[in-house]
């Protein structure tokens, strides 16, 4: 069976990586792992991940940079941070402003991670659907999907008649510009 959703698990602890690889693969997720941020950059560029689970690596500015980099390239990717490090309030706000979607403090259970992954996949699906709907919007400025004949004299007169009728029904003055 081919996994539909791929997860990138970034953590320096090999034992934790191996344990969660088994848990996530048992749930039919495709799993790639990375023990450091340099490897994570190359893995993220090679595959479209649905979820990224990342440890808060020192130096922390490097973790901030990779989160921002991932969100710039794939805004729909759900980024979940797991850590046992105390996150300072300034960093906490900054992480979320850079694109972090969720944060879990260690220790945590596999069920908790799986729940957050499912939440992340729902959020990703909504983000992708929103993007698809925005691309289908024929009224967006400069949209190539709007036929040239759509905004012609006949169309303008039809809309004008509708607005005049609406103004008569509801009583407010008729707006010339809308």
Please compute the mean of the pLDDT values over residues 116-129 and round it to a whole number.
94
Whole-angstrom CA distances from 44 to 71, 72, 138 are: 11, 12, 33
Helix or strand or coil: residue 169? Answer: helix
Helix H or strand E segment including 96: helix 89-98
- In contact, 57 and 39? CB cutoff 8 Å: no
136 vs 105, more confident: 105
68-81: pLDDT as tens digits: 999 999 999 999 99
Query: How far from chain centre, in Å, is Cα 124?
Result: 5
Mean pLDDT of the chain: 85
The whole-number pLDDT of residue 92 equals 87
């Amino acid at each position: 069976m081919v996994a539909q959703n791929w997860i990138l698990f970034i953590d320096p602890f090999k034992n934790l990586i191996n344990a969660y690889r088994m848990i996530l693969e048992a749930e039919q997720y495709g799993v790639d792992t990375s023990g450091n941020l340099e490897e994570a950059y190359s893995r993220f560029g090679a595959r479209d991940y649905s979820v990224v689970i990342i440890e808060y690596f020192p130096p922390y500015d490097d973790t901030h940079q990779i989160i921002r980099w991932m969100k710039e390239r794939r805004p729909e990717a759900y980024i979940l941070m797991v850590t046992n490090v105390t996150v300072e309030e300034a960093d906490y706000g900054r992480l979320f402003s850079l694109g972090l979607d969720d944060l879990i403090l260690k220790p945590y259970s596999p069920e908790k991670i799986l729940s957050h992954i499912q939440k992340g996949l729902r959020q990703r699906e909504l983000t992708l659907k929103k993007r698809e709907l925005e691309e289908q919007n024929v009224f967006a400025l400069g949209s190539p999907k709007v036929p040239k004949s759509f905004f012609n004299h006949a169309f303008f007169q039809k809309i004008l008649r509708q607005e005049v009728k609406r103004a008569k029904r509801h009583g407010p003055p008729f707006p010339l510009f809308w």
